[in-house]
């Protein structure tokens, strides 16, 4: 398996523009997570899905952020409109069965820069 | 509210010596703990975990210790090697729940 695949690897956009980050989880994994890494807060959980259903979006910072998982092999995280403080590395991770304490596998991340 | 804390942003250790990375947590409901390692421009990768029913778990050069009364865990790397230079994240979860709560990370540098 190729692992968790995220695209794009790097994104530079102007303030106010819409940004869409994409993720393909490992085939067969039931859960998908979106994290954001910043220097101050480390890895913050934004939202996670179980069997394509959003379970907890309490980490989504504002209404400007939205996430979807239309099927088991694809998820998007959208920021509209984007702001400079959204600049960070965004990670997607998937887990076979987190209730059984299996580990999450991370993608390589998308480095977002909003100017 | 940072439920998982890594109070040392960085740590420098000489090659061959022991590296000790520390992590504290506040939520007594956490019962499963993990360490992830992250190289630049890569995603975090799983390193080792421990359940709250244990106080120690060992895997080669890596050992994790859990002190439930102090709500503290540590990762020991012996002996430290240059390839261990990375950012290490501590994470915690509640069994049956699905999300991992991460600390801020500690950057470990192994000096030759």
Give the model confidence (pLDDT) of B62-83 as tens digits.
Answer: 999 999 999 999 999 999 999 9
CB contact under 8 A, B46 and A104: yes
pLDDT of residue B94: 85
Each residue's pLDDT tens digit, A6-40: 999 999 999 999 999 999 999 999 899 999 998 88
Q: Residue A30: closest CA among chain B residues belongs to which residue?
A: B98
pLDDT of residue A38: 87
Provide, as residue numbers in chain A, all residues whose Cβ is less than 8 Å from the Cβ of B98.
31, 48, 50, 55, 95, 98-99
Look-up of token digits 């030759």:
B112
Each residue's pLDDT tens digit, A42-65: 899 999 999 999 999 999 988 999
Task: Give the model's confidence band at B98: pLDDT under 50 very low, under 70 low, under 90 confident, else very high.
Answer: confident
Q: Is A81 exposed, middle or buried (0-12, 13-18, 19+ CB in 10 A)?
A: middle
Residue A8 makes CB contacts below 8 A (sequence gap 6+) with A21, A22, A110
pLDDT of residue A98: 67
In DSSP notation, A14-53 reads -TT--EEEEEEPPTT--EEEEEEEETTTEEEEEEEEETTE
Look-up of token digits 């942003």:
B9
Residue B32, pLDDT > 70, answer: yes
Each residue's pLDDT tens digit, A95-112: 987 666 678 899 999 999
Task: Give the model's confidence band at B55: pLDDT under 50 very low, under 70 low, under 90 confident, else very high.
Answer: very high
CB contact under 8 A, A55 and B98: yes
Provide, as residue numbers in chain A, all residues whose Cβ is less than 8 Å from the Cβ of B95.
99, 101
Task: Give the model's confidence band at B1: pLDDT under 50 very low, under 70 low, under 90 confident, else very high.
Answer: low
pLDDT of residue B25: 97
Distance from CA of B96 to the nearest CA of A (A): 4
Residue A95 makes CB contacts below 8 A (sequence gap 6+) with A29, A30, A31, A32, A33, A102, A103, A104, A105, B98
Task: Give me chain B's average pLDDT, please.
Answer: 94
pLDDT average, residue stretch B24-28: 95
pLDDT of residue A105: 93
d(CA B45, CA B31): 20
Q: Tell me what percent of the residues of chain A surpass a pLDDT of 90.
A: 82
Residue B74 CB neighbours (<10 A):
16
Task: Give the model's confidence band at A1: pLDDT under 50 very low, under 70 low, under 90 confident, else very high.
Answer: low
Residue (of B103, B90, B84, B104) closest to B12 by Cα position? B84
């Amino acid at each position: 398996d190729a692992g968790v695949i995220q695209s794009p690897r790097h994104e530079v956009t102007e303030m106010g523009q819409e940004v869409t980050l994409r993720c393909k989880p490992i085939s067969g994994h039931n859960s998908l997570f979106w994290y954001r890494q910043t220097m101050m807060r480390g890895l913050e959980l934004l939202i996670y899905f179980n069997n394509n259903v959003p379970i907890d979006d309490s980490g989504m910072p504002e209404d400007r952020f939205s996430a979807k998982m239309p099927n088991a092999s694809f998820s998007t995280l959208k920021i509209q409109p984007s702001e400079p403080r959204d600049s960070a590395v965004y990670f997607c991770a998937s887990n076979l069965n987190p209730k059984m304490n299996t580990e999450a596998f991370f993608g390589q991340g998308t480095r977002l820069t909003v100017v | 509210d940072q439920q998982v804390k890594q109070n040392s942003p960085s740590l420098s250790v000489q090659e061959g010596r022991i590296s000790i990375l520390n992590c504290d947590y506040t939520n007594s409901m956490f019962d499963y703990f993990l360490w992830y390692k992250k190289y630049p421009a890569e995603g975090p990768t799983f390193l080792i975990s421990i359940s709250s029913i244990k106080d120690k778990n060992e895997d080669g050069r890596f050992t994790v210790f859990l002190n439930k009364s102090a709500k503290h865990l540590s990762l020991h790397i012996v002996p430290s090697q240059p390839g261990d230079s990375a950012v290490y994240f501590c994470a915690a979860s509640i069994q049956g729940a699905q999300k991992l709560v991460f600390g801020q990370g500690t950057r470990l540098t192994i000096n030759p």
